[in-house]
Amino acid sequence: MDYIRHKVPPVREDRLAACGAYGGTCCELSEDAKKGCLYTAKRSFSQTQGCQLNLSLAMISTLRDAVMVIHSPIGCGGNLIQNAGIGKVFQQLRQKSAAGLRWINTNLSEFDVISGGEAKLRQAVLKAEREFQPEAILVFNSCVPALIGDDVDGILDQLQSQVNARIVPIHCEGFKTKIQATAYDSVYHGLIRNLVGLDADKKPQPERTAEEEAAYRERIAKTINLLNVGSMSRLDEEELVRLLRALGLHVRILPSYAHPDDFSHAHEAALNVSICATHDDYFAEHLERLYGIPYVLRTIPIGIANTNKWLRDIAAFFGIEEEAERLIAAETAELNEALAPFRAQFKGKTAFIAGGEVRILTTGELLHDLGMEILGLRGYHFDKYGALLLDEYLEDVPGSEDRVFNVGAGQVFEQANLLSKIKPDLFVGHIGVNGTAAKQGYPIFPLFGQSNVYFGYKGAYEVGSRVSRILRNHSFNRNLERHTRLPYRDSWYEQDPFTYIDNPGATAVRSN
């Protein structure tokens, strides 16, 4: 893959044939995915979702010492308003002096739609430089300037000579894709083109003696880029760093909550380690192509089985398999003992999981390992990385073949219908889809959170511990179920949940 020479990356429908609408069983999805034509699926009734602009912001508005410029009418990036306060708190977990989330909206008006928004883009970038003197200015392009034909790259090229900050254009126009995860490619595209490896341009390389140079090379040979995601916590990072350090590795954490300078050195690493292929394949593959850095991309370290797989993949690269096995044996022995009470409590309980393809499949494996039966899964989208993990899931979680798998970003009407039929003991959901499940009375465990540990061995314990706590009393949600209602007709619950999915590439829907 090499798209970096292009100004704009391709969308995921084209690059990965990603699917955004599906209803069937795990087994059927596994088969249909291999035929590769699920990306044509659509809905004749749909609910709102997110776009790649707001996921781009969720991912990289976390960047420290940076200002976000959103080139759009005033509403785009609206979710930032609720994150302004907490963003600073999370940044300061990485750097005490961090300034927090700052952004400027170009506030395009009807006048600009007629006469072009370029002047305002210039104003906004110069204002960001003048007011904040940040290390980087990230410019997010939206639907309207794309349609009116603003020459965003041309203007930003000109502006770069006028400001000290490094300008990073991010082409994340919402209307171009229904697969929100295209955002990750759009952000990485901008970062690779404008931040990665650019250190030499700006600062002279330190002069090293032969000895120092050898030590430096040795350090790089043991350094990995740990690619984090906006939905993980500082505690998650600490847990993964703990495990990697135990294997003698140095860790640089990118891209969320990083500092722009961290990217300057991103090419000085032996290995890129992803915790989520949905998030990182574009970055990892391009860094391999551009800088010869190999990568590990298979799974996310959630639950014992997948944490073990993740560590083994990394250890195999460095030839430290024995050390890894010793670590895994010690960690799992201690953890299994600690998990015993949860396994007793969860035996015979059932769960339904909704969220990103990588997280739901591995969380499913974890809850199954803790004694639960997984009744169904809902993924935001589905692509070849999900397909690989789904096949591993079918092996790791026996009896899942006939369990339901629904693909849809949001689309909570389908979820409500499914839950009314499946009735799990526990619902596990992504932010945005939990409130609706709450009004159906289920105990809910959020699929991620920025204040808890979820990854690695400590994460497996904490997930067990929190689920155990949540299952003890879900009166709040039960009261909601009794006294509120969801905005669907009673007749909707009598229908097939996938009534409004039109998926010519799937056997599953046809046979329903």
Partner 1 sequence: MSTYTGSSGGQVFTGRVIERPRYVCALGGAIGTIQSLPRAISILHSSSGCGGNLAGALSGASGYNGGNYCGGHALPSSNVSERDIVFGGEGRLSEQIENTLKVMDGDLYIVVTGCMVEMIGDDVHAVAKRFKGGELPVVAAETVSFKGNSYYGYDIVLETLFKDYVERAPVQDPSTVNLWGIVPMQDVFWKGNLEALKKLLDKLGFRVNTFFGQGETLDNLKHSARSSLNIVVSDCYGIAPARQFEKIHGVPFITVPLPIGDHGTARFLRQVGGALGVASEVIEALIAEEQAVYYSYLERLADVYNDLDFQRYATVVGDANYAQALTRFLADDIGWLPELVIITDVLNGEQEAKVIASFGDYESGLQPEIVYETDASAIEGHINRHWPAPGEGKYGNGFTPGYIVGSAMDRDTAERLKVPLLPVTYPISNRVVLHRAYAGYAGGLTLAEDLLSLVVAHR
- Residues 47-86 touching partner 1, rule: CB under 8 A, are 47-54, 73-86
Q: What gap in Å lies between CA 443 and CA 473, rounded to an integer?
A: 8
Query: CA-to-CA distance for 291 and 264, rounded, in angstroms?
Result: 13
* Residue 424, preceding peptide bond in cis (omega within 30° of 0): no
With binding defined as CB under 8 A, does residue 174 bind partner 1? yes
Q: Any contact of residue 88 with partner 1 (CB under 8 A)?
A: yes
Question: CA 236 to CA 232: how far, in whole Å?
Answer: 6
Q: Nearest distance from residue 364's CB to partner 1, in Å? A: 22
118 contributes a contact to partner 1 by CB under 8 A: no
- The distance of closest approach from Cβ of residue 510 to partner 1 in the complex, given in angstroms and rounded to an integer, is 20
Which of 450, 453, 477 has its CA nearest to residue 465? Answer: 453
Cβ closer to partner 1: 81 or 330? 81
Between 382 and 500, CB nearer to partner 1: 500
Nearer to partner 1, 306 or 436 (CB): 436
Q: Is 18 in the site for partner 1 (CB under 8 A)?
A: no
- Residue 123 or residue 420: which is nearer to partner 1 going by CB? 123
Q: Whole-number minimum distance, CB 509 to partner 1, in Å?
A: 16
Strand-pair category, 42-43 with 501-502: antiparallel
Does 441 help bind partner 1 (rule: CB under 8 A)?
no
Q: What is the DSSP letter of 495?
A: S
Q: Where are the beta strands (DSSP E) in 290-333?
A: 295-296
| Cα of 218 vs its chain's centroid, Å | 32
* Interaction residues for partner 1, span 416-435 (CB under 8 A): 432-433, 435
Q: Which of 112, 118, 280, 357 binds partner 1 (CB under 8 A)?
A: 112
Give the span between the Cα atoms of 170 and 17, in whole angstroms.
Answer: 22
**Residue 344 dihedral angles phi and psi, to the nearest 5°:** -70, -40
Considering only residues 397-416, where is the footprint of partner 1 by CB under 8 A? 409-413
Restricted to residues 90-109, the positions that interact with partner 1 (CB under 8 A) are: 100, 102-109
Q: Which of residues 83 and 452 has its CB atom nearest to partner 1 in the complex? A: 83
Q: Is 230 in the site for partner 1 (CB under 8 A)?
A: no
Stretch that binds partner 1, among 177-185, 252-260, 389-397, 446-454 (CB under 8 A): 177-185
Q: Which is nearer to partner 1, 138 or 296 (CB)?
A: 138
Other Cβ atoms less than 10 A from the Cβ of 461: the count is 16
Q: How many CB atoms lie within 10 A of CB 93?
A: 15
**What does the buried/exposed string (b/e) look like for 44-59 if buried means 16 or more CB atoms within 10 Å of the residue's CB?**
eebeebbbbbbbbbbb
214 vs 231: CA distance, rounded Å: 37
Cα 255 from Cα 88, distance rounded (Å): 16
Residue 59 CB, nearest approach to partner 1 (Å): 14
Q: Which residue in 4, 113, 338, 388 binds partner 1 (CB under 8 A)?
A: 113
The answer to whether residues 508 and 497 touch, using CB atoms and an 8 Å cutoff, is no
Instruction: Copy the structure tokens of residue 441.
Output: 């009375």
Q: Single out the residue of 61, 436, 440, 503 in contact with partner 1 (rule: CB under 8 A).
A: 436
Phi, psi of 170 (to 5 degrees): -125, 115
Which of 89, 340 has the CB closer to partner 1? 89
Task: Kindly state the smallest distance separating residue 375's Cβ from partner 1, in Å.
Answer: 21
**Residue 136 Cβ, how far from partner 1 at the closest point, in Å?**
16
The yes or no reply on residue 127 touching partner 1 (CB under 8 A) is: yes
Nearer to partner 1 among residue 175 and residue 216 (C-beta): 175
- Binding footprint of partner 1, residue count (CB under 8 A): 74
Q: Contact letters (x/-) for partner 1, 146-165, by CB under 8 A?
A: -xx-----------------
Query: What DSSP string describes 101-142?
Result: --EEE----HHHHHH-SHHHHHHHHHHHHHHH--SEEEEEE-
- Does 362 engage in binding with partner 1 (CB under 8 A)? no
Contact 443, 62 (CB under 8 A): no
Site for partner 1 in 186-205 (CB under 8 A): none
Q: How far is the CB of 314 from partner 1 (least distance, A)?
A: 35
Distance CA 327, CA 310 (A): 13
144 is a site residue for partner 1 (CB under 8 A): yes
